Amino acid sequence: MPNHRYRSATTAYPGSSLATERQTENQIDTFYVDNQGRVNVMWVVGTGPWQGPVALTGPNFAPPGAALATERQSIDQIDLFVVDNQGRVNVMWAVGTGAWQGPVALTGPNFAPAGAALATERQVDENIDQIDLFVVDNQGRVNVMWTGPQHWEGPVGLTGPNFAPPGAHLATERQKPKQINLFVVDNFGRVNVMWTGPQHWEGPVALTGSVASSGGALATERQTMNQIDLFFVDNLGHVNVMWTGPQHWEGPVALTGQDFAVPGAALAAEHQTYNQIDLFVVDNQGYVNVMWTGPQHWEGPIDL
């Protein structure tokens, strides 16, 4: 159960970022930074009522509405990440149903923009039980940090400086058991992929020309055991899909008409069933829309 060091009534700014993850088999947590700059958790156990919010930090810790990322580090531990007001990447964690621990800074100050976007993914094979954490620093480098045997390691730059806007959006997904893919839109508006190779990270490789908003949002999900889909809204407002083909990446293919959504708009994707991915985006009229993988092709959009 979360600790109650800073229990208080809290309110978030409209449109604040959220992150969510399963803390235990029966408990889901959701996180946000309130309008006092406190990182908060809310949680639900089974089909019971939602609990919280409970603040995990004091006030003025991070920008109100700041981006967060969360991932399971082990079967018993959930980690939560945020860039604080000093530009430090921080981790908080809970083991089982115990109290939340931290925050602990993983970098020095002024490393990344306060409240910057983060992405995280588990890197697991027979020799690795590791979380990777990604952020674009104040010099425009894409960086990785990871859980080492004793403590967090890194950051290590995966690109040179001025590659992407500081704090740019990132997306990550496992392509196969031993390969993580990381996606970012660079300073030229190109969608790029980096991936874990046999010895080290590979790339970046541009998958498109200059079609997207630099640092814009991306979403990714596994469509089948052998295919990852990647989504973004291009500079003309089309929602696009790209996917891993037999030999290389395919697309982008527009799933909507022009001026459907704001260029670089946030998206979310998830499996509805084993064979169906749902993709969500807010259009230019302010409606929440869903698109989905049909038997032959993508269906929708339909406003919800």
Per residue in 144-155, pLDDT (tens digit) is: 999 977 899 999
| 221-249 residue pLDDT tens | 988 777 899 999 999 999 999 999 778 99
Q: With respect to residue 8, please indicate whether it lies within any of the assigned structural domains.
A: no
Residues pairing with 234 in the sheet: 212
Please report the pLDDT score of residue 245 as a whole number: 76
Residue 23 lies in a domain: yes
Residue 5 lies in a domain: no
What does the alpha-carbon distance between residue 15 and residue 179 come to, in Å, rounded to a whole number? 33
Q: How many CB atoms lie within 10 A of CB 268?
A: 13
Per-residue pLDDT tens for 243-292?
997 789 999 999 999 999 999 999 999 988 888 999 999 999 999 999 99
The answer to whether residue 286 sits within a structural domain is yes
Residue range(s) defining the domain that contains residue 156:
19-303
CA neighbours closer than 13 Å in the CB half-sphere of residue 202: 9
- The CATH number of residue 270's host domain is 2.120.10.70
Q: Up-side HSE of residue 125: CA atoms within 13 Å toward CB?
A: 10
> If you count them, how many residues does the chain have?
304
How many separate domains does the chain show? 1
Q: Which residues pair with 268 in a beta bridge?
A: 280
Q: Contact 229/223 with Cβ under 8 angstroms?
A: yes
